[in-house]
Structure 1
Amino acid sequence: MNTTEAPAKASPIPLEVAQARLFALADPMPREHVDMAGAIGRYLAEPLTARRTQPAAHLSAMDGYAVYDSDLAGPWRIIGESAAGHPYSGSLSAGEAVRISTGALLPDNAAAVIVQEDMARDGNALRLTGTAPSPQDRHVRRAGADFVDGREILPAGTRIGPAQIALAVSAGHKHLPVFRCPHVAIIDSGDELSADPETCERHQIPASNGAMLEAMVADLAVPVTRIGPVADTLEALLNAFEQAAHADVIVTSGGASVGDHDLIRPALAEWGATIDFWRIAIKPGKPLLVATRQRSQRRQVIVGLPGNPVSALVTGYHFLLPLLRALLGAARPLPLAVTTLLANELPPTGPRREFLRGIWNGERVETAKTQDSGALAALAASNVLIDRPANSALLAAGGAVRVYPLGNGGIA
């Protein structure tokens, strides 16, 4: 059962447990139908079925000649032509052939297509000089070979990209069913933050986390409201939450730990939010917080990320992005890991699962020069997170590790 204040001494929970609890808090978004341009990058809200058959009739897969004779021996007499979009209107009889182009309809009674390189033409006389196709329909695209009217062509939860757009249009669709995009509000908090990086004082740091998080969710095309930087006071935080009251997902950066100025938890409690869990057994990113606030129609989900930029990126990668994908209807909202080989030795790990910044060349991965949770230069140079389970032994160079591609503009 949720409480308004998670116990301060509660043990951090494992990553997968926290992700499952986060997904359970997300109310489904309403469905809508959008045109193809509006569907790009989103996920199907329901299975998509074909409204036509593709190909609708037998087509030629090559430039050549459509012939009647089942023995494919010839000779033949050319009686016409079938081009893409301009089919031959008659049918073939014994000893007859039609010049045919790739993608053109086969005439009635055509038995095969013989490629032009295997034929010799003299006027309208045609003879075989090469090898007849084997099997006989080798160069024929049969009706329905791609998909058939009424059959499912894409399952629910499929992400819609260029190939899916082409398939949907070819299957007779002008609009696609998707879930409405969740509105995201990103709140930067901290007295030390400067809104303008060009006028940052010595006692300040530029407010980079909000820009980073907005860039992280840009690929999902969700509407974003940026709020802050917000001062470390209850009044300022409550005002920021009110500004974000319209959002489906609120993301905070900083103030979720246990310091004297970490006021996100008490501010959420006063605002009427319920904290579901706090602190995750990962490094970096332990002080992650997840809460909800009930509204008239649907709950808001609040994800409180750590203030250190690397911690914010790691937890945003494993929690914010999967949450948004789940709300958008993704069949597999969690990031996918790949296995690769180490270029350098990795030391043993402690009681928390670690995500090290790494540079992967497609064959081997090496760790970034520093793993400090505030080191942005090392983060920007990295393109993967190296997954190290808790209490792992030393791992020698050449050992196998799992990595999560970041897609963050680091070295490819």
Structure 2
Amino acid sequence: MSLLPVAEAQARLLALAAPLEIETVPLIDGVGRWAAEDVVAIRDQPSHDLSAMDGYAIRHAERPGPWTIVGESAAGGGLDRPLGRGEAARIFTGAPVPAAADCVLVQEEAERIGERLAMVGEGPRGIGGNIRPQGIDFRSGSKLIPTGRRIDGRHVALAGIGGHATIAVRRRPRITLISTGDELVPLGKPTPGASLPASNAPMLAGLLAGWPVEVRDHGIVPDDLDRIADAFSNAAGEADIIVTTGGVSVGDHDFIRPALEKAGARLDFWRVAMRPGKPLLAGTLNSAIVLGLPGNPVSSYVTACLFLLPLIARMGGAAHPLPRTRTVPLGAPLPSNGQRQDYLRARLVDGQAFAPDGQDSAALMALAAADGLIVRPPHVPRAEIGESVEMLYLA
């Protein structure tokens, strides 16, 4: 089986998935998820002409006065009648402008003696001066949030002021993490001989902590065909995505592929032209999507960023599920690249990207210190200091 280009593998993985069912939740519970429907305003904002300053509501044509003050307008409640000729109203920021008034004289340019008012400065420049017109932000019927936009606190405020208390989103994908390997032991336990702490599942759970998902850690499964197949079958009944780490290469103890076949899964692709992360696997088992990540921790993390996170976004209804890169200048040269797409752990120093030595797929120090991954397409020539490269930022 030949190596798939990264973009083709991502497209094939996303084609296996569809957005999950829609549910309506309180606005705050939609944060981090994607709008499943357009959010449309059901009110104007502001709903009335409002004063942008503290001062006095007047008619512009009557400048420079004098006026008689006949009442006041404060935020939340306005004057209960229109202004007559020669009349003014005390007004405060955010308060509705009285009917028949067409500008606001700021208080620094006003002189008040009892109920008499005169202008002592230049005054408002014209009709509408110091007024926020009704609907200047948006009108009822305006699209506030498009389908597929990820929701954050700004969108909560926008939808709330637009008249909404809830939002339609896709339900959270259910993810089961399965770690495979005879060498693995739970975190904190002794590691005799060549055994290793099982750090991949906690690492992935940490990566997903800010994502709208439900994560279940199935634990460690030894390198046994039947037990791995049973783990797949058990997970398939409750998970939307089954994520494995380890066992996807070509060694005698790499049982993920045969275990999937034994469980009745359909393999879609295996092995991608990327470094780190070549032995990546994807398929389906019943209604679940299976994503087999490499066992080396850096490979597991990088492939999760490039494949698992976009898959979650696709199921969540994201308009643009694939990660986006930014262009940055190099702070040190990079050699020419071979046939695979490289993802180099890199630091940003004074806006320049540096990819240190130590890019081994089992070396976690460079990953933990990295600000992002420099993307090096296949067969690109040597890159010099100052040249622009694409960088995928890490959270």
Shift of 1:71: 5.3
Q: Structure 1 CA distance, aligned partners of 2:388 and 2:291?
A: 33
Say whether the 8 Å CA contact 1:370–1:378 is kept in structure 2. yes
The gaps in structure 1 that reach 5 residues or longer are 1-9, 408-412
> Given the alignment, which residue of 20, 32, 41 partners 1:41?
32
1:29 aligned residue:
20
CA distance in 1, matches of 2:171, 2:350: 36
**Relative to structure 2, which stretch is displaced further, 388-397 or 118-127?**
118-127
Task: Give distance in 2, aligned partners of 1:116 and 1:334.
Answer: 53
Q: State the 1:377 CA deviation.
A: 1.1
Q: Which amino acid aligns with 1:213?
A: L
- What's 2:208 paired with? 217
Match of 2:244 in 1: 252
The question of whether the paired residues in 2 share the 8 Å contact of 1:68 and 1:93 is answered with no
1:153 and 2:141 are equivalent in the alignment: no
Counterpart in the other structure of 1:62: 53
In 1, Cα distance between equivalents of 2:260 and 2:292? 10
Q: CA deviation at 1:195?
A: 1.0
Counterpart-to-counterpart distance in 2, 1:213 and 1:348? 31
**RMSD (CA atoms):** 1.4
Is 1:133 the counterpart of 2:124? The answer is yes
Aligned residues: 394
Q: Distance in 2 between matches of 1:72 and 1:309?
A: 74
Match of 2:259 among 264, 267, 276: 267
Deviation at 1:70, TM superposition (A): 2.7
Question: Identity of counterpart residues, as a percentage?
Answer: 44
TM-score in terms of structure 1 length: 0.92
Distance in structure 1 (CA, Å) of the matches to 2:161 and 2:301: 39
Aligned AA (1:282): M
- Gaps of at least 5 residues in structure 2 are none
Q: How big is the shift at 1:116?
A: 1.8
Of residues 88, 113, 116, the one that matches 1:122 is 113
Q: Distance in 1 between matches of 2:258 and 2:220?
A: 18
More deviation, 179-188/359-368: 359-368
Query: In 1, Cα distance between the equivalents of 2:171 and 2:59?
Result: 54
Deviation at 1:157, TM superposition (A): 0.6
Q: 2:379 aligns with which of 391, 401, 405?
A: 391
The 2-side partners of 1:96 and 1:153 are apart by 39
Which of the residues 257, 271, 281 maps onto 2:273? 281
Counterpart CA distance in 2 for 1:213 and 1:398 is 34
Partner AA of 2:209 in structure 1: A
2:300 equivalent in structure 1 = 312
AA paired with 1:293?
L
| Residues 1:324 and 2:345 aligned together | no
Paired letter, 2:368: A
Q: Distance in 1 between matches of 2:66 and 2:370?
A: 66
The one-letter amino acid paired with 1:284 is P
Tell me which residue corresponds to 2:231: 240
- Structure 1 residue 170 displacement after superposition: 1.3
Aligned equivalent of 1:175: 166
Q: Quick one: structure 1 residues 210 and 126, their matched pair in 2 at CA, closer, same or farther if it must change by over 3 Å?
A: same
Distance in 2 of aligned mates of 1:388 and 1:73: 69
Cα drift, residue 348 of structure 1: 1.1
Superposed displacement of residue 36, structure 1: 1.8
* 1:135 Cα offset (Å): 4.6
The 1-side partners of 2:210 and 2:32 are apart by 7
Structure 1's 66 and 252: CA in aligned 2 closer, same or farther, altered over 3 A? same
Between the aligned partners of 2:210 and 2:256, the Cα distance in structure 1 is 28
User: Does residue 107 in structure 1 map to residue 98 in structure 2?
Assistant: yes
Aligned equivalents of 2:219, 2:86: Cα separation in 1? 81
- The Cα shift of 1:342 comes to 1.0
Q: Is the 8 A contact 1:28 1:327 kept in 2?
A: yes
2:337 alignment partner, one of 324, 328, 349 = 349
Amino acid at match of 2:25: V
